[in-house]
A and B are shown apart, each in its own frame.
Chain A
Amino acid sequence: MSHFLRRQGWVTGLFALLIVLFIVTKLIQPGYGSGDFGSLARAVLPYAFAVAAQTVVVIAGGIDLSVAAMMALTSVTAASMMAGASEEYALFVVPFVLAMGFALGALNGLLIVVTRVPDIVVTLAMLFVLQGAALLVLGAPGGGAAEWLKAMISGTVPIPGLPDAVDAWAPKALLVLIVCLCVIWIPLRRSRLGLSIYAIGSSELAAFRSGVPVKRTRILAYALSGLFAAFGGLALTMSTGIGAPIPGPYLLASVAAVVLGGVALGGGKGGLLGPIVAVFVLRLVRTDLTLLAIDPNVTAIIEGLIMVAVVMFGAFITMRGRQ
């Protein structure tokens, strides 16, 4: 139990913060209900994938600035391929786009490993390249998406044996998020690759000496990041029905959630659950501030302050715990 608390203390705290925020929301807006929760889940979906993409590389001791651009490119690719095509064609588009994300991510990793140019430079360059490519694919927002894909994240999941009132709190978007992340993350955490990703982030030298293929692991970490970004791109297309070549504010949001989620920017520490919960926290704060009719510019300031305060508080608790 003490082990659990020590390891998961941060995530537990974030969950508590999230619950407090839900209560606050309910107080501000007594009418806040399952429908609003559903739209929160849908809004969170692309952010959550962006955060997952960032989390993997940060744990491996790197950073990926191309996450948002990668999402834009995969989104417009999917949207332009599906525009006017048959419903069944989308069955091919989805794996194609995911593979594309994986390959582009691997390219990121490969460039970093081979050229030894710092990751921040390589992924920044990649950001520009991918942004340009996205505009080449679709000059303006457009394209389309298969109906079944759009339907995947709208509405709720009917859980047999439970009253509709409960079902209403299980939006499909949340389920898609959980399934996609679990299918990749849980086996990864238990594999040697997962361990190696943590190992190279924690201490590259010790990992090398422990026989970890450091370069291969780094490339795979970026490839996984690309895969998650492609999921994010698909989520964008699924929720809007089109593709937009100009990426949203997903890059900075992903870094913010990674930090808030208890992942050390130096690498080696943290998990995926924390950042995902952090995304919900950040989105919900924004919702609350909007409901309070606060100037959006002030909203951004408050979000920044919350992040600093939470991280400082966390560092403070950690230091107290050590003494």
Chain B
Amino acid sequence: MTTSPQQQSPLLDASGVAKNYGAVAALRNASLSVLPGEVHALMGANGAGKSTLVKILTGAISANAGRILIRGEARDIRSPAAARRAGLLPVYQEPSLIPDLDVLSNLRLTGTPVEPFRAWVRELGISDLDLRDTARDIPLAILRVLDLARALAVEPDVLLLDEMTAALPANLAEKVLEVVRRQGDAGRAVIFISHRFVEISALCDRATVLRDGATVGVVDIVPGVEEKIVELMLGTRIEKTKVAARAGQGAASAPALPRIAVRNLRVGTKLNDVSFDLRDGEVAGVVALEGQGQDELFAALAGSIRPSGGAIEVDGKPAKFAHPIDAIRAGIAYVPGDRSEALAMQRSVRENIALPFSAALRNWGPIAMGRERATVASAIQRLQIDTRAQGEVQRLSGGNQQKVTIARWIAADARTILCFDPTRGIDVGTKQEIYKLLRELAGNGKSVLFYTSELEEVQRVCDRVIVIFGGRLVDIFSVEEADEPALMRAAYGLPRGAKADVGILADPSANPSDAPAPEARP
């Protein structure tokens, strides 16, 4: 680690950057200043605006306001090509080599010199690369390293790495971190986005923290700074919220068998050895940063992907879901975060709600309209869905659409509902209604698994919280313990309670995130 060179003029200086999508402000006032020779971490909770800022800096989208100076010169970065010319090169989370072209053609496409590329590839620990291989045939982990080598080969002033080590096996990750560190030594700069504090404290000189679309702090990385960063990411919300007394409900009926028991569940390399119970009458929260394996967990429980190991037990009996219909028959319903995944947007509210119970193919013959109408009407009333625009679901507001996706499972009388971030992008009032509804469901003896990207929701809704990091279940909190700082720390893979031991002094092997995925991808 080098000392931060305060006096130098920054290589990249972005200030007042704002970006609106319609009425939604993704970025309000973000700034980022990167000095020559430093590795700079960009941090923020989900939805803080990191990825929007990255897209703006790399020319993928344009900002509504703000100023970007590169080496003191104002630059208008309108396209990835322009960002490249300005000396700003990103390596995205998903590889950006053209899948159907061979590596050599990919290099030609971006005008990357071949020899430096080869040298970097060797440096990064890949000895047997054939430049004639088509990108599609190369494993994901190697592709990410090639992406990095391609960026390094043109010696960019500012290299932007988004979750660079996420899909890498340990040996490659180590080489990558080593190379990144040396970039700083060479007087160039690196913007490093990572969810892993261990990497950040070992690698970075400073960190910029975003919250709600604005930069809330720039800190030097020193031992023990993690607390400060977590605090910045959470902002004023750090004071403890009062937990509603729910203990009575949960303890009153402790059934012998859990409704769903997940045992050592494994999905590819994304989810590893996850075990927990979901009981009748409870709302269990799931908290995780983006892409930690929660998508796979929900998909496996909903029957849309098959786990590669472990077991799911429903009411004590092992269950194998080959198709979502199997899960639905077992009374498990999935409410996806993206409502367009769940709804037939051009169809009416009634049809959408009735779909799971009326449209089953074995129900040959005419639909019992009277019964259907009654069931749907009671569900609509229970959820207070605004049905003024009920002819086409796509004309409803986001909140009402989400209610429709939940209503159909209430109408279908599902015993377990898997809610994946159901309150994303909907208004506060509807959020409250959804919280209330989930509590009601639990009160009626149903079970709910509730993933949320908004930590404050946890204490409003859940009885227990499961925290997943790097594909592993790292902690289970009872609702009383699950305040935002505790959850945030856990979500970043920091051990509970331990404050001084985290950081560069920490033993990396103690951190579950460093346990590498065995293979990148077949």
Contact = CB atoms under 8 A, between A and B. Distances in A.
Interface stretch (A88-96, A197-205, A294-302): A197-205
Given A3-B132, A195-B109, A199-B109, A210 B98 contact: yes
Interface stretch (B40-48, B76-84, B403-411): B76-84
A117 B95 CA distance: 29
Contact of B100 (A201, A205, A208): A201
Contact of B96 (A192, A210, A268): A210
Chain A contact residues: over half helix, strand or loop, or mixed?
helix
Contact of B108 (A192, A207, A209, A269): A192
Interface string B96-109: 11111100011011
Contacts of B79: 208, 211, 213
Contact of A202 (B60, B84, B92, B99): B99
Contacts of A196: 109
B109 A192 contact: yes
B109 A202 contact: no
Interface in A188-242: 192, 195-196, 198-199, 201-203, 205-213
Interface in A252-278: 264, 268-269
A320 to B, nearest CB: 15
A163 to B, nearest CB: 41
A179 B339 CA distance: 54
A207 B96 CA distance: 7
B108 A203 contact: no
B98 A202 contact: yes
B227 to A, nearest CB: 36
Interface of A: 3, 192, 195-196, 198-199, 201-203, 205-213, 264, 268-269
Contacts, number: 63
A207 B132 contact: no
Contacts of A195: 101, 105, 108-109
A142 B96 CA distance: 53
A206 B99 contact: yes
A1 to B, nearest CB: 12
A205 B92 CA distance: 11
21 contacts: A192-B109, A195-B101, A195-B105, A195-B108, A198-B101, A199-B109, A201-B100, A202-B98, A203-B98, A206-B95, A207-B98, A208-B60, A209-B60, A210-B80, A210-B98, A210-B106, A211-B80, A211-B84, A211-B109, A213-B79, A264-B100
B110 interface: yes
Contact of B99 (A3, A211, A213, A268): A268
Interface of B: 58, 60, 79-81, 84, 90, 92, 95-101, 105-106, 108-110, 132
Contacts of B132: 3
Nearest to B133: A3
Given A210-B106, A210-B110, A212-B109, A199 B98 contact: yes
A210 B90 CA distance: 10
Nearest to A214: B79
Contacts of B101: 195, 198-199, 202, 268
Chain B contact residues: over half helix, strand or loop, or mixed?
loop
Contact of B110 (A198, A201, A205, A211): A211
Contacts of B106: 210
Contacts of B95: 206
| Nearest 5 interchain pairs by C-beta | A211-B81, A202-B100, A268-B100, A209-B96, A206-B96
Nearest to A199: B98
A303 B298 CA distance: 47
Contacts of B58: 209
B98 A213 contact: no
Nearest to B95: A206
A306 B79 CA distance: 46
Among B90, B99, B105, B109, which residue has the most Cβ atoms of chain A within 10 A? B109
Contacts of A201: 100
B97 A206 contact: yes
Contacts of B105: 195, 198
Contact of B98 (A3, A192, A264, A268): A268
Contacts of B81: 211-213
A209 B80 contact: yes
Nearest to B112: A210
Given A208-B80, A210-B80, A211-B110, A198 B60 contact: no
B369 to A, nearest CB: 37
B89 to A, nearest CB: 10
A203 B98 CA distance: 6
Nearest to A201: B100
A228 B348 CA distance: 47
Contacts of B92: 209
A208 B98 CA distance: 10
A199 B98 CA distance: 6
A126 B95 CA distance: 37
Contacts of B96: 205-206, 209-210
A203 B109 contact: no
A198 B100 contact: yes
A203 B135 CA distance: 12
Given A210-B109, A211-B79, 16 more contacts: A192-B108, A195-B105, A201-B100, A206-B97, A207-B109, A208-B60, A209-B58, A209-B80, A209-B90, A209-B92, A209-B96, A210-B96, A268-B98, A268-B100, A268-B101, A269-B100
A206 B98 CA distance: 6
A195 B58 CA distance: 22
